[in-house]
Amino acid sequence: MKFAILVPTYNEATSIVELLDSLSTLRETGTYQFDVLVIDDNSPDATAEIVGQRGLHWVSILKREKKDGLGNAYRAGFSTILKDSSYDQIVTMDADGSHRVQDLPAMFAAAGSGRSIVLGTRWIPGGSVVNWPKSRQLLSRSGTRYASLALGIDLADLTGGFRIYSRELLQSLNLTEMTATGYCFQIEMALASHLAGAHATQVPITFVERINGVSKMSKAIVIEALIQTTRWGVTRRLRPNADKLHYVK
C-alpha cells in the first residue's frame, strides 16, 4: 500500500520541522511507502515557507488563503490527494507532536482493503495520554462517550484525529456535503464512515500534549461539537435513512 499523510498547519513552524524529521527517519527504513501533504492555512509564522525550504521531494504543500477550520482544511486535502490514484490510504495527523510517528507502523499494518478506517485510539488497553490533567482526560472521555451513545457508534475514541481512511471509503462519501469545521469534524467523519459500512479497526496510541506552540482547542469548539453531535443524534432517530443518503454516494 502507498499512504498519503495529511498534516494541517497553522503557526506550526517549530513543530512541523520536528515532525518531518521523525517522518524522514521512518521513511528511510524503506519499510513504508508514504508521501506527505502539508495543508497550510496561510500561517503568519511562515510554516509553509519553512516546509518548502527543506526541499523534501516526498513533501508537498497545499497553501490555503485563510484559517477557516480543521474540517475545511482536511476536505481540501482529501480533494487534492484523491486526484492521484497512486495513494491507497490517506492518513490524518496533527502537526504539533501529539500524534507520535512511532505509532504509525502499527496503524499502517492495520490498514485494510475495501471501505476501511483505522482509528488511533487513546481510550482502549494499550492507549494513553501524556501531559493531560485529569479534567482534560475526563472531558475527552465524556465527549466520546456522549457521541457514541448519541450516534449509536461503538468506538472508544470518536474525537481523535489520528486516523487512516482507505481511498475506497473516501470516494464513497459525499465529502462536499459535510459541514463540520472544528474538531467535531472527527465525529462527523466517524459517523459518515459508519454509515458507509466501513470496517473499523482501533489501534492503541499514546497521545502527547503539545510542548511548543499554542493549542487550537477552545470552549467554542467544544460547544460546537456538543451541539452538532446532538443534532446528528436526533436526526438519526427521526430520519435514520436521511443520514445515509446525505453522507454516502
pLDDT in tens, the chain (249 residues): 899 999 999 999 999 999 999 999 999 999 999 999 999 999 999 999 999 999 999 999 999 999 989 999 999 999 999 999 999 999 999 999 999 999 999 999 999 999 999 999 999 999 999 988 888 888 888 888 999 999 999 999 999 999 999 999 999 999 999 988 877 899 999 999 999 999 999 999 999 986 665 555 556 667 777 888 888 888 887 777 777 778 999
Domain edges within the chain: 2-247
CB neighbourhood size of 175 (10 A): 19
Name the residue among 2, 203, 180, 147 with its Cα closest to residue 84: 2
Query: If you count them, how many residues does the chain have?
Result: 249
**CATH, range 2-247:** 3.90.550.10
Residue 229 contacts by C-beta under 8 Å, 6 or more apart in sequence? 146, 147, 150, 151, 184, 187
pTM of the predicted structure, to 2 decimals: 0.92
